[in-house]
Amino acid sequence: MHPAESSSSPLSSLSRRAVLLAAVALAAGCTQLPRQQVFHDQPVRVMTSGGFAEAHQRLAPEFTRATGYMVETALGSSMGSSPTSIPNRLEKGEIADVVILARSSLDQLATQGYVKPGTQIDLVRSAIGLSVKKGAPVPDISTEEKFKQVLLSAKSIAYSASASGTYFETEMLRKLGIHDQIMPKSRKIVTERVGTIVARGEAEIGLQQVSELLPIQGTSFAGKIPESMQQYTFFSAGIAKTSTNPQGLESLLKFYTSPEARKTIEETGLEPVTASR
């Protein structure tokens, strides 16, 4: 064999091998690069009342990361005369894909034509709780009698304009036999969270859904009211008549009722449920 040939062949083989190994390494490296998030053009528009608001605000970013759907949120109470209440928002023509609020109010919206009948599904169950201003003595409300005495001794009471407040003023106080003593010193809160009023010292105690009391800074949570006086509110989702994003809302409802969402929901003081009612 010619000397030139014997010297060039091994070099050529090594060069080809080096190129091949480099290409394989590059390809392997490319597969390890993070995949870019793909976002959908149309967001999912959600109207939710305060009872589910904290859970929704925590879940929405997780939902976006998982599905690529952005979420637009409008907050309002389940009922009442406030301009920002969900019934008033819908009556004024505000657009939504999904409406989340107390089941009784959602069913009424379905009757009125703002929510598509038969699309309602329960998401969570919520209990009523009691809070006081941070630094104040935290009352013992572990029994019905102790809870009754706390209400009687309080100088001022704040309660919600939504479902829990309606129950408080029309049923609970009458069950306890103290309606006439309590109502004159009680204030229905329409445009703010009850806990915010308590934190400012404008009410000695506040009653509202646990999930609405827990996030408020400047307050101490005394606990749920006694089971004998408790009324659970189901917060449910329904498809708005104005919905234009069926794929997005279906993805959102599936995510919000998934096992992955359960821990986040429970951390906000709510009990997840999945069965329609």
Task: Give the C-alpha separation, 109 to 91, whole Å.
Answer: 10
CA 150 to chain CA centroid, Å, is 30
- 3: CB partners within 8 A, 6+ apart: none
Contact 214, 126 (CB under 8 A): no
- In terms of Cβ atoms closer than 10 Å to its own Cβ (0-12, 13-18, 19+), residue 62 is middle
Q: Distances from the Cα of 145 to the Cαs of 140, 172, 184, 226, in angstroms?
A: 10, 13, 21, 9
pLDDT at 79: 76
Give this prediction's pTM: 0.73
pLDDT at 89: 94
pLDDT at 39: 82
Largest CA-CA distance found in the chain, in angstroms, rounded: 116
**Domain range summary for the chain, segments of one domain joined by +:** 44-125+234-272, 128-229
pLDDT at 146: 98
pLDDT at 220: 98
pLDDT at 51: 86
Domain 128-229 belongs to what topology? Answer: D-Maltodextrin-Binding Protein; domain 2 (3.40.190)
Cα-based torsion angle of the residue sequence 264, 270, 271, 273 in order, rounded to the nearest 10 degrees: -80
Task: Give the C-alpha separation, 168 to 186, whole Å.
Answer: 10
Domain 44-125+234-272 belongs to what topology? Answer: D-Maltodextrin-Binding Protein; domain 2 (3.40.190)
Contact 123, 49 (CB under 8 A): no
pLDDT at 162: 83
pLDDT at 36: 57
Q: At what angle do helices 246-256 and 50-67 cross, to 10 degrees?
A: 110
44-125+234-272 and 128-229 share one fold: yes
pLDDT at 163: 82
Task: Give the C-alpha separation, 61 to 53, whole Å.
Answer: 13
pLDDT at 80: 72
Q: Strand 128-133 and strand 205-209: pairing?
A: antiparallel
pLDDT at 240: 98
Closest by CA to 203, choosing from 188, 221, 181, is 188
Q: Distances from the Cα of 184 to the Cαs of 8, 157, 169, in angstroms?
A: 103, 10, 11
Residue segments in the chain with a per-residue pLDDT below the cut of 70: 1-38, 274-277
Task: Give the C-alpha separation, 63 to 5, whole Å.
Answer: 64
